[in-house]
Amino acid sequence: MTRSVSVGAPLTRTGLAAGLWLAGTSVAAGLLAWVGWWTPWVAWPVGLLVLVAAAVAVRGLPGVALGRGPAAGLVVVCLGFAGYAAATHSEHVMPRRDAASNLQAAVSLAATGERVVPVDVSVFGGPDLLRSGDLTLASAAFYQVGSAADPAIQPQFLMAPATVYGYGVLAGGPEAAMLLPAVAMALVLMLLGLLAAHLTRPWWGVAAAGLTGLLFPVLNVARGTYSEQLALLTLVGGLLALVLAAGRDGGDRTAGRLALVGGLLVGGTGVARVDALREVMLLLPVLAVAVALGRAWARPALAGLVASTVVAYGLGWGLSFRYLGDIHASLLPLVAMVVVVAAVSGAGVRLWRRGRRLPAGLVRRAPDVVAGLTVLAGLVLWSRPWWLTVRQDPDDPGARYVAGMQRRQGLPVDGGRTYAEHTVDWLSWYVGWAALVVALLALALVLRAMLTRLADGDLVPWAAPLVLAAGSTLLTLLRPGITPDHPWADRRLLVALPFVVLLVVVAGRWAGDRVAREGRPWARPLVAAVVVLGLGVPAGLASWPFRGVGVERGSLAAVDEVCAVLDPDDVVLGIDGRASSEWPQVVRGMCGTPFAVATTPVREDPERLRAVVDEVARGAAAQGRSLVVLAADGPEAVEEIGLDPREVVDIRFPEEEHALDRPPRRFDVGGIRVSVADVPAG
C-alpha cells in the first residue's frame, strides 16, 4: 500500500497545486491589474512565486492510493484528452459567447496590464458625442464605465479566465491561449479520476475520468476559453482534499493542511464563476455537522472557505461591479440564501453543544425517508414536461432570442419558455436513460448510508462531495438559469454530468464486489464492461458528430486581415449591429486601434449617422488621425451613408448548432463579413 500511495500522491499534489495556482494567481493579477501593474515583467515572476507557494503548500500531503498501472492509465487518459481537445480546439474570437469574451479580456489584460482600461476620447473629437448618447464605447461583454470625459472599458466576467488565458496570450498570442482550456479540463479529469479511485477502486477511477471525457459538453467546453473548466479545477480539487482530510482525521497533522487547502479551493472557485457561491452554501452544513461532531479538520476547512470566498467576491465586486449589478436579481437571493444557511448552520452547532438533539424517532427514520424522497424527487423532475411549462418574462432579451430560434426551427413561438422542465432530458442526451436510473438509485442508497452512519455519530469522509454535488445538481435541474440554446446551454451540466458518472461507477463497484463475494469473481470484469459500455455508448454517440475540429476556425486569420488594413493613426467607428457588438474589443485589443460605436438610434437613421460620422472624422483629424467606418452585417450600412465600401473579409465556417428541444447533432454555418471605408475629414 505504501508503494501505491507513493504513485498516487504526486498526481494528487499536482492537481491541488494547479488549483491553488489558479486561485492565487487570479487574485494577485486582479489586485495588480487594478492599479495597472500587471505587465509581463510582473506577471511571469508573480506566476512563478505563486507556483512555488502552491508547491510548498501541498508538499508532503498524502494522496490517493493508486498503483502504477491505474496511475499510468489515468495519466494516459488525461494526456490523450488534452491532446485531442487542443488539436481540435475552437477559435472563439468574436464576442458572441462567453468563450470569446474571456479571450478578449485576456488579450486586453496582456496588452495593457490593466483590468479596467482608460480610453482617450479626444481621438473621437472629445466627450460630447458620448455625453449626448450618439456614441458609446460599450459592446458585447465589455462595459463603458466612468464619465464621458474620462471613460474606461470594464470586462464583464470574473478575473480567472482573463488571468489564466492571459498567460497564454503572453506566451504565444491568442493561438497559445486557445490550447490552455484543454489542459485545464485534463487536470479536472485527473482530479475526478483520483476522487473516483479513492471512493471505489483505482481502475474505476480511470474509467470515471475516461467516461467523463467522452461527454460532449465536457469536450465542447475544453475546446474553448470558457470559465467552467477553471471553476471545476478548483472545485473538484477542493472536494478531493476535503475527502482525504476527513479520512485522516484523528491526530494526523496532514489532515488540517488538507482541509485548509480544500476550503481555500472551494471558496476560490469564486474567482472563476459567480454562481460558485452556491457550492459554498452547500458545503456550510457539512462543515457545521463536522464541527459539532468534533472533527478536527472542519475548522481549518471552514477558515479556508470563508477567507477565499471573501477575497474572491471582494475582488469580483471591485473589478466586475457592472456585471454583478446586472445580475443582482439572481445574485442577491443567492447571497441571502448563503446568509440564512450560515446562520442556521451556526445555530445548529450551538444547539448541539447545549445538548439539544433531534427526536430519536426522526433520526432513526430519516435515512429511509430521505432515500424515498430522493427517488420521488427524481421521478417528479423527470415527469415535469407532462404537467409543467416553465416561463420567464417574454420581454426579456433572452426571451426574444428564444422566439427567434423557435421561428427558425419551426416550433410554436413562445419566447417566454425557458425549457427548464426538460433539464433531465438534457442529461439523458449525453449519458442515456439507463445511467440516469442507476445514478438515481445509487444516490438514494448512498444518502441513506450517509445518514445511517450519521445517526451513529459518524460523518462519512465523502459527505462533502455527496451533499455539494447532489445539491448543486438539484438546483441546476430546477433552475438552469441559461438560455436553452444547445450545446452552449449544456455548460450548466458540468457538475451534474460528472456526478452521474461517479454515481454509476460507485454502483458498478458495488455490483462487482457483490457478485465476487457470491463466488463469481469472473463477473466483476463483466460488470465493469457493462458500466463502461452503458455510459460510453450514449456519450460516444452524442459526441461523434462533433469529432472533428472545433467551431469558428478561421476567425483569427479574419481578424489579422482586418488589422492589416488599419493604419497606426486610424480610429474606427462601428456603424451596424454586428460591428457594434462583436468588433469593438477585438479591434481595440488585437489591432491596437481605438474603436467607438454609433448607438442604435443613430444607426437606424442614415442621415443622423452620416452627421455623426462626419463629426467624428473632424475630431479625429484634429488629433492627426483618420476615421475608418466598419460594417459587419454587409456593406449596405457603408453605402447608405454615401461611402464606398471595401470588402476585407468574407468567410464561412462551422459554428455550434442552435437547438432548443433536442440534442445538438450537427454544425450550423457561421461566418465573418467585414467591409470598411475611409472617411474624409472635410
CA 212, 9, 59: angle at the middle one, nearest 5? Answer: 125
pLDDT band per the 50, 70, 90 thresholds, residue 682: low
Q: Is residue 571 within 8 Å of residue 123, measured between CB atoms? A: yes
How far separated are the first and last CA of the chain, in Å rounded? 82
* Residues 190 and 74 sit within 8 Å (Cβ to Cβ): yes
| C-beta atoms surrounding 147 within 10 Å | 11
592: Cα separation from own chain's centroid? 28
Compute the mean pLDDT over every residue in the chain, rounded to the nearest whole number: 96
pLDDT in tens, 264-281: 999 999 999 999 999 999
Give me the pLDDT at residue 565, please.
98
Cis geometry, peptide bond prior to residue 487 (ω within 30 degrees of 0): yes
d(CA 203, CA 185): 20
Cell of 454: 450519521
pLDDT tens digit sequence for 604-658: 999 999 999 999 999 999 999 999 999 999 999 999 999 999 999 999 999 999 9
For 530-571, write each residue's pLDDT tens digit. Answer: 999 999 999 999 999 999 889 999 999 999 999 999 999 999
Strands (E) in 71-187, as ranges, are 117-118, 135-136, 142-146, 151-155
| The pLDDT of residue 522 | 79
Enter the C-alpha cell of residue 270: 469564486
**Cell 436553452 belongs to which residue?**
484
CB atoms within 10 A of CB 129: 22
pLDDT at residue number 436: 98
**Has this prediction a pTM greater than 0.85?**
yes
Alpha carbon distance 484, 474 (integer Å): 17
Percent of the residues in the chain that have a pLDDT greater than 90, as a whole number: 93
Other beta carbons less than 10 A from residue 237's beta carbon? 35
Q: What is the pLDDT of residue 251?
A: 63
Q: What is the pLDDT of residues 366-394, one digit of tens each?
A: 999 999 999 999 999 999 999 999 998 88
The pLDDT assigned to 393 comes to: 85
Q: What is the pLDDT of residue 250?
A: 64
Predicted confidence (pLDDT) per residue in 22-76, tens digit: 999 999 999 999 999 999 999 999 999 999 999 999 999 999 999 999 999 999 9
For 563, residues 6+ apart whose C-beta sits below 8 A from its C-beta are 587, 590, 591, 593
- Contact by Cβ (8 Å): 209, 77: yes
Buried b (16+ CB within 10 A) or exposed e, 371-384: beebeebbeebbeb
Specify whether the CB–CB gap between 575 and 629 falls below 8 A. yes
Given a cut of 50, whether residue 430 has pLDDT beyond it is yes
The answer to whether residue 184 scores a pLDDT higher than 50 is yes
H/E stretch holding 303: helix 298-319
Asked whether 561 and 538 are in contact (CB, 8 A), the reply is no
Least confident among 9-18, 296-305, 351-360, 447-456: 351-360
Q: Please state which of the ranges 156-160, 198-202, 251-255, 605-609 shows the lowest mean pLDDT.
A: 251-255
What band does 1 get if pLDDT is binned at 50, 70 and 90? very low
Q: Tell which residue, 674, 465, 460, 453, has the closest CA to residue 583.
A: 674
- Say if residue 493's pLDDT is above 80: yes
What number of CA atoms fall less than 13 Å from residue 397's CA on the CB side? 0
pLDDT of residue 167: 99
The C-alpha torsion from 42 through 44 and 49 to 54, rounded to 10°, is 130
For residues 494 and 212, what is the distance between their CA atoms, to the nearest angstrom? 10
Q: Are 4 and 56 in contact (CB under 8 A)?
A: no
Q: Tell me if residue 647 falls in helix, strand or coil.
A: strand
pLDDT at 397: 80
Of residues 111 and 523, the one with the higher pLDDT is 111
